[in-house]
Chain A
Amino acid sequence: MAALQRFFRHSVLSYKALFGWLEPKVYLFVMVLNPLSQLLFFAVLVNYVYGGEGLAGYIAANALLLCVMNSVFGMMSVITSDRGMGTLQLVMSTPSNKASLFISRSLAHVVNGAFTAVLGLAFGILLFGLSIPFDAFLSLFVIWLVSIFSACGLGLIIATFCLWSPSMHLWSNLLASLLLLLSGANYPLSVMPAWLEQLAVFIPLTRGVRLTKDIVNNGDYSQMTTLLSQELLLGCVFFIISLLLIVYAEYLARVKGTMDLE
């Protein structure tokens, strides 16, 4: 019980310490207005191009995509911000369990990402007068949590790259663009060349976007169990890889002395 409390306390404090966008004005701009303007842009665009066909699904999928802010840029801060402040080496040399430490840090971003996505969906529903059946919401919420968890896992992998590479902005933007492009939020996956479609299979959010569209547009739940468990598995694999990378970085710092965690 004490360990669990510590886990959640850590989650909240590290979010405050590392992300630092909690200042009301800045939060409003960065975490509310900016995502909403992105959603609005894509909603207007697909509404125009597809003549309103499948609009609800596109808007819901775009709302899910708003979590990229947290699952990429937020997750980057979990490592890069800590390193920038010179606290990473202090944290790494405490007797705490590193796996639970980084997972608890990620938790805040999964929750924040889900919040932004839900906010985006509510905004889309109000603005475009969409109707989504009430019983779809619970399923959607579960799908989104799992998808965002998975995206955060990939985000953490990229964040660990920054222990080796100085170009953190490059990596984070590359990943953000890739998620927006490959998840297929704004077009059917079939328009992509086959090799891209193959690649999309290994990218988080692809399954989440597909399920979101299926459920919102057609009330089709048939793929839910399969795709959801795949997305969850993908997320777990991402987290395991990223934790291994962190362990490897610590090995390089401690044994080889070739990496400076400061």
Chain B
Amino acid sequence: MSETVITVSNVKRVYKTEVGMFKKTKKEVEALKGISFSIHKGEIFGLLGPNGAGKTTMIKLLTTMLIPDSGTISILGMDPVTQHMKVRPHINFILGGERNLYWRLSAYDNLAYFADLYKVPRQEQKNRILELLELVGLADVAHQRVETFSKGMKQRLQIARGLINRPYILFLDEPSIGLDPVSARKLRDILLKLNEQGTTILLTTHYMYEADELCDRIAFIDKGELITVDTPENMKRQTAGVSIIECKLTDVSASMIEELSRLPHVRHVKHEQDEIMTTVRLQTEMPQAVIPEIYKLVDEMSISDLAIMQPTLEDVYVQLVGGDAQ
């Protein structure tokens, strides 16, 4: 568990964009402001953060698709900037969504095509493709065109594509985006199975429970900066002694949320709204003191549920990245 396969030290990346045709104004966006971390062999490592935090930039840097402005990266002891052609055979990456496949080809042909691009010897190709289709549960539709597949099937085919060169390290950018719960479950099972077989995995995700279930370690990044790296267990321990009061409210205004967050002993408030009600989560060390205050503030009739629970990874995330600031 101690062998390091990826080392990132003090990596910075700025995007320069020119706006306007004639009066060119140069705009610089600091996507990464100096990030360092390392990933061990056989780990599942999660990269979490809000949109625009720099997750995709990080994945691009690690997969040789982009070069850092400063800082160094080492992948399997190689430099992806200068030795990208040597690195590429040993890694692969998968992007979320339905694209990034040839829809007019069959599942089998998609894999055969990329097998050739990764120079997999012909005699190995057939067995490996069948094996991978079996792994992702697409063996019976191997010769159907991808355009007839559901989202989940396409996503699983992407996984198979990403494994065609038996990579030591697999990168996944938002792999479960847009998947229904059953498909997302299948995807997680595949990733866990792969990890058992020894593949190191780095993934980005928006879904906290996914990260909690899958990842050995997690890095939170926000606005191009690394906030923390640790195991999910340790992270949750940071909130030791903290409880979560979750209440479901049928009628709530922005100002009321504001007032709730100003109650004594409340550390953070996060709210989520669906069609019927608003779920408000308050972090506090003294739930018994806070609950009566809630009843004073909010009309009793509009509280449809109220419970005290243990913090989840999401609450840690809220505490670190900031509450309702999205």
The judgment on whether A and B are partners is yes
A contact set with B: CB distance below 8 Å: 2, 5-6, 9-10, 13-14, 16-18, 20, 85-87, 89-96, 101, 253-258
**Complex: chain A residue closest to B67, CB-CB:** A255
Q: Are A13 and B109 in contact (CB under 8 A)?
A: yes
**Complex: chain B residue closest to A17, CB-CB:** B102
Q: Which residues of B contact A92 (CB under 8 A)?
A: 65
Does B37 make an interface contact (CB < 8 A)?
A: no
Q: Which of B13, B16, B95, B102 neighbours the largest number of chain A CB atoms within 10 Å of its CB?
A: B102
Contact A85/B66 with A14-B113, A94-B117, A258-B17 known, Cβ cut-off 8 Å: no
Q: Are B66 and A96 in contact (CB under 8 A)?
A: no
Q: How far is the CB of B187 from chain A (nearest CB, A)?
A: 19
Contact A257/B13 with A16-B109, A93-B64, A95-B118 known, Cβ cut-off 8 Å: yes
Q: Are B65 and A89 in contact (CB under 8 A)?
A: yes
By secondary structure, the A interface counts as helix
Does B303 make an interface contact (CB < 8 A)?
A: no
Contact A20/B104 with A89-B65, A257-B13 known, Cβ cut-off 8 Å: yes
Q: Which residues of B contact A17 (CB under 8 A)?
A: 102, 104-105, 109, 113
Q: Which residues of A contact B189 (CB under 8 A)?
A: none
Q: Give complex CA distance A20, B114 in Å.
A: 18
Q: Give complex CA distance A94, B118 in Å.
A: 6
Q: How many residues of B contact A (CB 8 A)?
A: 33
Pick the contact of A85 from B13, B16, B100 — CB < 8 Å?
A: B100
Pick the contact of A93 from B16, B63, B109 — CB < 8 Å?
A: B63
Q: Are A16 and B105 in contact (CB under 8 A)?
A: yes
B contact set with A: CB distance below 8 Å: 13, 15-17, 63-67, 85, 88-89, 93, 95, 97, 99-105, 109, 112-114, 116-119, 121-122, 161
Top 4 closest pairs, chain A to chain B, by CB = A86-B99, A17-B102, A94-B117, A95-B88
**Complex: chain B residue closest to A7, CB-CB:** B116
Q: Are A94 and B99 in contact (CB under 8 A)?
A: no
Q: How far is the CB of A21 from chain B (nearest CB, A)?
A: 10
Q: Are A87 and B105 in contact (CB under 8 A)?
A: no
Q: How far is the CB of B215 from chain A (nearest CB, A)?
A: 24
Pick the contact of B103 from A14, A85, A89, A94 — CB < 8 Å?
A: A85
Contact A96/B118 with A10-B113, A13-B105, A20-B104 known, Cβ cut-off 8 Å: yes
Q: Which residues of B contact A93 (CB under 8 A)?
A: 63-65, 88, 93
Jot down 26 A-B pairs with beta carbons below 8 A, ordered by A: A2-B121, A2-B122, A6-B119, A9-B116, A10-B116, A13-B105, A13-B116, A18-B102, A20-B104, A85-B100, A86-B99, A87-B102, A89-B65, A90-B161, A93-B64, A93-B65, A93-B88, A94-B114, A95-B118, A96-B116, A96-B118, A254-B66, A255-B67, A257-B15, A257-B67, A258-B16
